Amino acid sequence: MHEINEHEHEHCHKEHCHEEDGCCCCHEHDNDEGYIKKGIIRIAAGLIALGIAIFTQGAVSIVFYIIAYVIFGYDVVLEAVENIREGHLFDENFLMSLATICALAIGEYTEAVAVMLFYQIGEFLQGAVVNRSRRSIKDLMELNIDDVNILKDGNIVTVEPEDIEIGDIVVIKPGEKIPVDGIITQGSTSLDMKSLTGESVPVEKAEGDSVISGSVNNASLIYVKAEKRYSDSTVARIMDMVENASSHKSETESFISRFAKIYTPAVVLAALLVVLIPVLMGCDFRTWLYRALIFLVASCPCALVVSIPLTFFAGIGTLSRKGVLVKGSNYVELLSRTDTVVMDKTGTITKGEFEVTDIKGGETLKYAASLERFSTHPMGAAVVDKYEGEYLDAEDVKNITGFGVSGKIEGKTILAGSKRLMDSEGISCDDGYNIYVAVEGKCIGAIAVEDTVKPDSKRAVDDLNSLGIANIAMLTGDKKEIAGKIAKDVGIKNVYSELLPQDKVSTIETLYSTGSSDIAAIGDGINDAPVLARADIGIAMGGIGSDAAIEAADVVIMEDSLAKLPVAIRLARATMKLCRENVTFVLAIKIIVLILAVIGKSNMWLAVFADVGVALLAVLNSIRITRM
Domain boundaries, the chain: 355-450
Highest mean pLDDT among 79-93, 165-179, 567-581: 567-581
Mean predicted lDDT score pLDDT of the chain? 82
Q: What percent of the chain has pLDDT over 90?
A: 32
* 221-245 pLDDT tens trace: 999 999 988 877 776 666 666 555 5
pLDDT band for position 194 (cuts 50, 70, 90): low
What is the predicted pLDDT for the residue at 259? 76
- Report, as an integer, the average pLDDT of 325-348: 89
CA 141 to centroid of chain Cα atoms: 12
> CA 585 to CA 268: how far, in whole Å?
22
Q: What are phi and psi of 497, to 5 degrees?
A: -115, 170
The closest alpha carbon to 379, from 415, 406, 353, belongs to: 353
> CA 317 to CA 587: how far, in whole Å?
26
pLDDT at 203 over 60: yes
What is the predicted pLDDT for the residue at 604? 80
pLDDT band for position 132 (cuts 50, 70, 90): low
What is the predicted pLDDT for the residue at 595? 92
Of the candidates 181, 192, 344, 451, the residue annotated as catalytic is 344
- Report, as an integer, the average pLDDT of 504-519: 87
What is the predicted pLDDT for the residue at 437? 94
* 282-297 pLDDT tens trace: 999 989 988 988 888 8
CA angle 294, 295, 299 (to 5 degrees): 115
The closest alpha carbon to 318, from 574, 619, 541, 19, belongs to: 574
- The DSSP symbol for 393 reads P
* pTM for the structure as a whole: 0.69
> CA 358 to CA 447: how far, in whole Å?
6
Of 28 and 373, more confident: 373
pLDDT at 91 over 60: yes
pLDDT at 207 over 80: yes
- Report, as an integer, the average pLDDT of 245-259: 68
What is the predicted pLDDT for the residue at 550? 64
The closest alpha carbon to 568, from 582, 554, 581, 579, belongs to: 554
* 473-485 pLDDT tens trace: 999 877 788 888 8
- Report, as an integer, the average pLDDT of 511-534: 81
What is the predicted pLDDT for the residue at 487? 92
pLDDT at 267 over 70: yes
What is the predicted pLDDT for the residue at 177? 86
Residue 99: C-alpha distances to residues 123, 172, 300, 585 (Å): 18, 61, 11, 24
Q: What percent of the chain has pLDDT over 70?
A: 84
- Report, as an integer, the average pLDDT of 205-233: 87
pLDDT at 59 over 70: yes
> CA 402 to CA 398: how far, in whole Å?
12
> CA 541 to CA 562: how far, in whole Å?
7
Of 225 and 96, more confident: 225
pLDDT band for position 408 (cuts 50, 70, 90): very high
pLDDT at 398 over 50: yes
Helices and strands (H, E) in the chain, number of each type: 21, 22
- List the end-to-end C-alpha distance of the chain, in Å, as a whole number: 26
The answer to whether 580 and 623 have CB atoms below 8 angstroms apart is no
pLDDT at 330 over 70: yes
What is the predicted pLDDT for the residue at 552? 67
* Residue 36 neighbours by CB under 8 Å, 6+ apart: 124, 128
pLDDT band for position 12 (cuts 50, 70, 90): very low
The question of whether 503 is a catalytic residue gets the answer: no
Could you tell me the fold of the domain covering 355-450?
Calcium-transporting ATPase, cytoplasmic domain N (3.40.1110)
Of 616 and 138, more confident: 616
